[in-house]
Chains A and B, each alone.
Chain A
């Protein structure tokens, strides 16, 4: 018993020393350089696609024809830029008038289907206070998503479970299913996005 107690004390003593010695290197982690958002005007027809929304229902992109659609690509366990994109979309939704909401829709398409099930997406949407009547969170099988990512020109590279590198794209698609404005970067300017959405709503 004495031997065991001595072993435990010695072991905890060493742990105590190493724990506090290791604190000296606390500030040595790498840093992320934040790039500015780039806004591009494009004319890219988007092919129809079918995915699954946060409530587990089938979602068909073609059903949004006649509406201006803001499409963002992100994933729920993203530790850097996705929260900024989703927060920006939340602000966009908040600032749209009732009439503008009838003529527009927001989409968040996951870049990590391995983690982002409909249930996980529903929790994510709730945390951000998304009004789900005008905002859908989409997932699906990887092959379908790959074609959607490719269609929008989004590159996706899995680094680890729940950790994905992807193009930080927020795209605005007009009433006819043509991608017109692309914001590439961490946090699209809400005022610019609103201006572009309103322009496309009023553009017959």
Chain B
């Protein structure tokens, strides 16, 4: 089936974002999650900063952490970090005019049915690693 379901934002991305990011960054990435007010340093609204960063930079930040943000590399597989990256990209594009190259990026990078793991040489997460 060429037009298979599950393209674009999907449940896997929602789940990883809800479990690991939402408490601080909030549902829309504005830094207004339920934990945000309790943090000694307010989490930033990542929508603007994400716009100015490349995918490798964002992936590195998720993997290594920053300030109070955990380093997720030890816990998540590369494809899960990629899901997180996609989600961050989606949220950063919500409600603003996006440039043509960003649309192209959305189409290419966020297309979940392309077997990125195989193309980029990522390991498939082991059964127990799946959320």
Contact B17 A79 (CB under 8 A): no
Smallest Cβ distance from A135 to chain B, in angstroms? 17
Contact (A12, B108) CB under 8 Å given A30-B18, A80-B35: yes
Contact A22 B9 (CB under 8 A): yes
The number of chain B residues touching the other chain, given as a range, is 35 or more
Smallest Cβ distance from B89 to chain A, in angstroms? 9
Contact B38 A29 (CB under 8 A): no
Contact A23 B107 (CB under 8 A): no
Q: Which of A32, A123, A127 contacts B23 (CB 8 A)?
A: A32
A131 to B79, CA, bound (A): 35
Q: Count A-B contacts at CB 8 Å.
A: 131
Smallest Cβ distance from A74 to chain B, in angstroms? 10
Which chain A residues lie closer than 8 Å to B76 at the CB level?
Answer: 161-162
Which chain A residues lie closer than 8 Å to B107 at the CB level?
Answer: 12, 15-16, 19
A84 to B27, CA, bound (A): 20
Decide yes or no whether B46 CB sits under 8 A from chain A. Answer: no
Which chain B residues lie closer than 8 Å to A81 at the CB level?
Answer: 35
Q: Which of chain A's residues has its CB closest to B104's CB?
A: A12
Q: Which of B7, B20, B71, B129 contacts A14 (CB 8 A)?
A: B7
Decide yes or no whether A192 CB sits under 8 A from chain B. Answer: no
Q: Which of chain B's residues has its CB closest to A31's CB?
A: B34
Smallest Cβ distance from A163 to chain B, in angstroms? 6
A16 to B3, CA, bound (A): 12
Q: List 26 A-B contacts (CB under 8 A).
A: A11-B111, A12-B108, A15-B7, A15-B107, A15-B111, A18-B8, A18-B9, A19-B110, A23-B9, A28-B27, A76-B71, A77-B71, A79-B21, A80-B35, A81-B35, A83-B39, A83-B69, A84-B40, A87-B39, A115-B74, A117-B74, A123-B71, A127-B71, A162-B72, A163-B75, A186-B38
Taking beta carbons and an 8 Å cutoff, which residues of B are in contact with A? 2-3, 7-10, 14, 17-24, 27-28, 33-35, 38-40, 65, 67-72, 74-76, 90-91, 93-94, 103, 106-108, 110-111, 113, 128-131
